[in-house]
Amino acid sequence: MLSLPVMRWLSGLAVLLVVGHVCTFVISDATGIDRSVGMLRQLDLNGEANLAAWFYSFLLLSCSVLTLGLTVAARLRRSSLAGRWAVLAAVLLVMAVDETAQLHDMATGPLRNGLDIDFGVFYFAWLLPAVGFLAVCAVYFAPLVRSLGPAVQARFVGAVLVYLAGAVGVEMVSGFVASGGRKSAQYLAVLTVEEALELAGVLLVLGTLLALLRRLQPSVTVSLAGHGVGSQVVLDSPLPSAPRGQ
């Protein structure tokens, strides 16, 4: 059995990125170097087409792949929730693509101008359709969440809430802070909290998905999480069938 402490490595890289992100502020302030060029740009967690964006997109893509594995397992068990797992995998895939392409930002300008929003909770106007989409997701995925065991259910919900606290909650706060300028110390501090929460949330979701895969008991496995958060991914092992609806 091949054992790789993936979660430990990914968590360590995330911490380094957050530290590097903060260092870009310090270096830029001390030297006057623009944060949008060179290595400073690569470490900007709010930047586009850089190392930070690639890493974040990779985490989301990994979540999508693991969810696809849970979809296959659910179908082998003839579970009625297989379709919901598949939709969740698709949503995570779209999120991974969006993180690299920044598609959601394309809606901000037209919505902000159309609604005449200067500053405030919906200054980043992509949040308007996003909140509606989240409400639909909450209803649609509720049966899937309820099907998880109490411990995993609490872990999964907690991970999603941490992510949403950054991606939605702190993003709304930053709409107010942006009135002081996007280079103000206050705005940059809020931005750092937002990005750190999003990273932490995605890592927690990834760890929870690995824990779910650990429930499978194949004869040939690969351990992906190392000590403490072990998990197993099926390479070739039939699963016992389960009654429909489970």
Per residue in 30-82, pLDDT (tens digit) is 888 888 888 888 998 888 788 999 999 999 999 999 999 999 989 988 999 99
By mean pLDDT, which of 113-122, 159-168, 178-187, 216-225 is the weakest? 216-225
Per residue in 175-225, pLDDT (tens digit) is 888 867 777 888 889 999 999 999 999 999 999 998 888 776 443 344 544
Residue 107: pLDDT band with limits 50, 70, 90 = low
Tell me, what's the pLDDT at 2? 43
Is 232 or 170 the better-scoring residue by pLDDT?
Answer: 170
Asked if 52 and 58 count as a contact pair (C-beta separation under 8 A), the reply is no
Domain boundaries, the chain: 6-234
Residue 245: pLDDT band with limits 50, 70, 90 = very low
Half-sphere exposure of 170 (CA within 13 A, CB side): 20
139, 87, 94, 69 alpha-carbon torsion, rounded to 10°: 130
Residue 4: pLDDT band with limits 50, 70, 90 = low
Residue 1, pLDDT > 60, answer no
Which of 144, 27, 164 lies closest to 95, judged by CA? 164
Per residue in 125-149, pLDDT (tens digit) is 778 888 899 999 999 999 999 999 8
pTM, full prediction:
0.82
**160 phi, psi to nearest 5 deg:** -65, -40
